[in-house]
Amino acid sequence: MTKKNHSGYAGIIGRPNVGKSTLLNAFLGEKLAIVTKKPQTTRNRIMGVLTQKDCQIIFLDTPGILEPHYQLHQNMIKCAYRVLEESDTIIFMVEPAMPQRIETKIIERLTTYHKPSFLVINKIDTIQKDSLFPLIETYASMNIFQEIIPISALKLKGIDSLLMAIKTSLPEGEPLYPPDMLTDQPERFFASEIIREKIFKYYREELPYSTAVVIEEFKERKPKDFICAIIYVERESQEGIIIGKNGLDLKKVAVEARADIEALIGREVYLELWVKTRKNWHKSSNALKEFGYERG
């Protein structure tokens, strides 16, 4: 009997910092989505294509669902929920804890879609095994999940079982994208994401959430590609914090970001960073559109 091919979209949804981007990277074996210890890192839908002999799974990583406080949050939530409409299969990721208000809201939304849905309990390496059972029973009693799968995306535990479950839930069909395609986002998008990741790494408290990165120029040229990026902040006082004494903090961001960009695109890069103020950009529809956060 000829083995049937499966192909389709698998949307990954959940609250911030549950490990959605870590899971995407684990499936692809590539660092496609930036990952930090801080929540609300992902702001856009990120597509990652996994092509195997008998299937093609198009994963859609999403911003975390949270209680919105300003326009950027609203756009992120809209982006996440739109992925539910685009997906053939839904992966709802949670931490190993009883459902709270956010989880309840997401589950209410899931009940309006008649699609295969998997509950993925991530970070099982952080808890005692016995504490999983009441959690699984609670979610199982809701009768909306095709399967409940405990995993550790960071430790790569359980992801093979999850991958098999996703694969068999997708429609039968030929691949939707070329076999060598990894994502639909251009290199300049990932360059801005990598810079933003370094900002989240090196700056404390709320400052990373007040920043946006825009690639002004991305030119392929010899001997090095040229990238000019602007880091936007919301207040003039934040410019000095980003730059640091004698420019050392900004230089540290640039050095690490350049190395990661070069590793991603396979070419040498000259990276130029500038810092500018755009007051209250996260509340401005015009600024959000300009910065690429109006795609939902």
In the annotated binding site for GTP, the residues are 14-21, 61-65, 122-125
Return the HEC string of 34-99.
Answer: CCCCCCCCCCCCEEEEEEECCEEEEEEECCCCCCCCCHHHHHHHHHHHHHHHHCCEEEEEECCCCC
DSSP H stretches of helix in 170-228 = 187-202
Beta bridge partners of 60: 11, 47
DSSP state of 157: B
In whole angstroms, give the CA distance from residue 227 to residue 218. 5
Half-sphere exposure of 238 (CA within 13 A, CB side): 23
- Does 223 sit behind a cis peptide bond, omega within 30 degrees of 0 on the bond before it? yes
Residue list for the binding site: 14-21, 61-65, 122-125
Q: Which of 19, 29, 46 lies closest to 186 in space, CA to CA?
A: 46
- Distance, in Å, from the CA atom of 211 to the CA atom of 230, rounded to the nearest integer, reads 10
